[in-house]
Structure 1
Amino acid sequence: MKKMTYLIIGVLIIGGIAFLYANSKETNKNNLKTLDNVTEKIQPEIGTENSKNYSLTYSEKLNKTKELYPFEKWRANFFEYDMEQYTEENCNEAKSIFDNLISKLIKLGENGNKTEKEKCFEIAIKSLNKLNEKDTGIIETAEREDLCELIDKITLASGLNPKDYAEGEGIADLWREW
């Protein structure tokens, strides 16, 4: 009788473990599907042929690029790594440069003049040059990559192609000194 009890308990334990394992695989599948859906909504692959944002308006595409702003990360570096160049003032100034760029591009409109759009980028990039001169080191390697990627995404959202500028390097490379 004792052996039979142990056998039943063992079967129940093994069955329970198998049930939990199978159920966790299904839960993981569902979680991955949910993650994919969230990623599709927040990942701004703007202006690319694989874009999942076909239904966004011109201004929505441009405003969506703000999700790529690196300035919160910069502020965190100020506190976490004592990187003095990432003051609230410097981060706000960099953010303001991009807010102004996006605002001007929205005012020009989707079918706005290409030369006028390029002039907006020139002003923004030269403003970043001045910010970097004011506090040398604010735009270092990682920050440069963040900003170039952001500028490329804004370029695409504005209807321009970054590959058409500076031998494919992007519009920022026409004026940037960082």
Structure 2
Amino acid sequence: MTYLIIGTLIIGVIAYLYTNSKKTNNNPEVENNLTEKSQPRTEFDHSLNDSLTYSEKLNKTKELYPFAKWRENFFEYQMEQYTEENCNEAKGIFDNLIFKLITLGENGNKNEKEKYFEIAINSLNKLNEKDEGIIETGEREDLCELIDQITLASGLKPKDYADGEGIADLWREW
């Protein structure tokens, strides 16, 4: 009888662990974002980042940079707008945004953080004007996702902006 009880408990624990290991994220905000949008997102697991510092979280968002993929399109599909210069300029905009957010600090003024996002998004608008077509549908999705992740890493919530569409939608023209 004791073996039966222990066996049942072990099976229960294994089932519990298996079920919970299937969850990709224990962060309710991110899970809500996943269910709100019909397609999977490419974000990193924020629940694993709880031990990271503010600057580490922001620097980790660089893993989501799409610019190498854009460069591949230049070569693979002869998409001339994805020159090294254009991709480096887009990367520089985000590097600068992340640098400014880190410099401001985790407890920095919310309005200043928002101002840095506005500057970055307006810079992307100018890049898109300079070489129209650099930000098309797929690139727009890449950039909005990246901006949402940087927003989260900076301590802001994308759902608090533009009726839940994210901070980029306040200023973007692409």
TM-score bin (small chain):
0.7 to 0.9
Q: Give, in whole Å, the separation in 2 of the partners of 1:116 and 1:166.
A: 18
Unaligned ranges ≥5, structure 1: 1-35
CA-CA distance at 1:45 after TM superposition:
2.8
Percent sequence identity over matched residues?
84
CA-CA distance at 1:52 after TM superposition:
1.5
CA-CA distance at 1:53 after TM superposition:
1.1
SS of match in other structure, 2:70: helix
Q: Give, in whole Å, the separation in 1 of the partners of 2:118 and 2:69.
A: 25
| Correspondence for 2:98 | 102
Larger Rg: 1
TM-score by length of 1: 0.74
Amino acid at match of 1:121: F
Matches within 5 A, 1:108-127: 108-127=104-123
| Cα deviation code 1:125-170 (max 9, x no counterpart) | 0000000000000000000000000000000000000000000000
Poorly superposed stretches of 4+, deviation over 6 Å: none
SS of match in other structure, 2:82: coil
TM-score by length of 2: 0.75
| Correspondence for 2:132 | 136
Q: Give, in whole Å, the separation in 2 of the partners of 1:45 and 1:131.
A: 30
Unaligned ranges ≥5, structure 2: 1-20, 26-42
Q: Give, in whole Å, the separation in 2 of the partners of 1:155 and 1:132.
A: 22
| Correspondence for 1:151 | 147
**Pairing partner for 2:76 from 69, 74, 80:** 80
RMSD value, Cα? 1.9
2:30 is the counterpart of 1:52: no
Q: Give, in whole Å, the separation in 2 of the partners of 1:79 and 1:166.
A: 36
Q: Give, in whole Å, the separation in 2 of the partners of 1:66 and 1:175.
A: 22
Aligned length: 137
